[in-house]
Amino acid sequence: MPAFDGSVPFLGHGVGLRVRHYRDLLDGAACAHVDVFEAITENFLHPGGRPRAVLDHIAKVRPIVFHGVGLGIASTAPVDAEYLEAARRLFDRYDPPWVSDHLCFTRAGRHDTHDLLPIPYTEETLNLVTDRIHRVRDAWDRPFCLENVSRYVAHRTSEMDEATFMAELVARTGCGVLLDVNNLLVCEKNLGEDPWRYVEALPRGCVHQIHLAGHTDHGTHAIDDHRGPVPSAVLELYRRVVARFGPVTTIVEWDEDVPPWTTLVAEAERARTVTEEATAP
């Protein structure tokens, strides 16, 4: 594995684990084609069956980081204790170097929307998320990162922008950032936010991981659908991010019309090439 001269291990370039590739990964040497895998936490909470068999197989040869979509860390509704416990058991089994979820809310009361919903960036939500991060880290006892989400609506009641909010969270809790470069560009298209200002607001060393993916531009707005190869605009911003922060563990996500394994691996290789070019002396 590549080494990283810093407190956060650099695990290399990898892909998000998807069901379509289970057979490739179980049958052959495909696991060795990438440096690292990212597994969606909620897909592996159950104790048996083929999903766990795939993880067991991968874990023998490559590191796995877990990425959740269901925590809803900014939901004012109480944290789902059963979910926290199931995730803890999963993480304890595979011992990932860090785990992540999104800076968003997912539910109101007991109604879970299964979506990543934007929050107003206020002192009230900052205090809420700060407390929740401490709770989550206590429950899971391992480094925790938050990802910036794609947003389609803005909150008039926000008292600061998301970059400032995220940087303050990092300062208060020591949590890491999973920087989704694609989401920065989606927010630029939808809400007119400056992606580079976001990057510059983050302290060096806090970005544990990067996501690369595609989106669909509908003219009036962009949808973060993880469809298709990583667009050139995303790779160009990624190049600048890596030049600023140095090599960062990078995962390519592809969820719509998931391609054959070799196509996905080629995307991870593109990211590796960009990192090498951007960090060359």
Residues lying near another protein in the complex (CB under 8 A) are found at 42-43, 45-53, 69-72, 74-77, 80, 83, 105-115, 117, 119-120, 122, 124-125, 128, 152-157, 189-192, 219-221, 223
Q: Which two tokens stand for residue 120?
A: 């107003």
> For residues 36 and 187, which CB has a smaller minimum distance to another protein in the complex?
187
3-state DSSP call for residue 65?
A: strand
Q: Which two tokens stand for residue 173?
A: 């809790």
CB 270, min distance to another protein, A = 28
Relative to beta strand 105-108, strand 111-117 is antiparallel
> For 20-41, what is the HEC assignment?
HHHHHHHHCCHHHHCCEEEEEH
Backbone CA torsion sign across 163, 167, 170, 172: negative
> For residues 34 and 99, which CB has a smaller minimum distance to another protein in the complex?
99
> For residues 2 and 51, which CB has a smaller minimum distance to another protein in the complex?
51
CB 86, min distance to another protein, A = 9
CB 194, min distance to another protein, A = 13
> For residues 86 and 201, which CB has a smaller minimum distance to another protein in the complex?
86
CB 57, min distance to another protein, A = 12
Instruction: Kindly state the DSSP code that residue 109 receives in the 8-state scheme.
Output: T
3-state DSSP call for residue 62?
A: coil
What's phi and psi for 19, nearest 5 deg?
-55, -35
> For residues 192 and 281, which CB has a smaller minimum distance to another protein in the complex?
192
CB neighbour list of residue 143: distance below 8 Å, 6 or more residues apart:
97, 98, 99, 137, 175, 176, 208
CB 264, min distance to another protein, A = 21
CB-based contact 31:57 (threshold 8 Å): yes
Rounded to whole angstroms, what are the CA distances from 15 to 25, 62, 154, 261, 276? Answer: 12, 12, 30, 10, 18
> For residues 119 and 234, which CB has a smaller minimum distance to another protein in the complex?
119
Q: Name residue, tokens 């949590």.
A: 175
CB-based contact 37:25 (threshold 8 Å): no
CB 58, min distance to another protein, A = 15
CB 182, min distance to another protein, A = 16
CB 71, min distance to another protein, A = 7
Q: Which two tokens stand for residue 193?
A: 């936010």
> For residues 95 and 217, which CB has a smaller minimum distance to another protein in the complex?
217
Q: For residue 161, count other CB atoms closer than 10 A to its CB.
A: 17
> For residues 114 and 174, which CB has a smaller minimum distance to another protein in the complex?
114
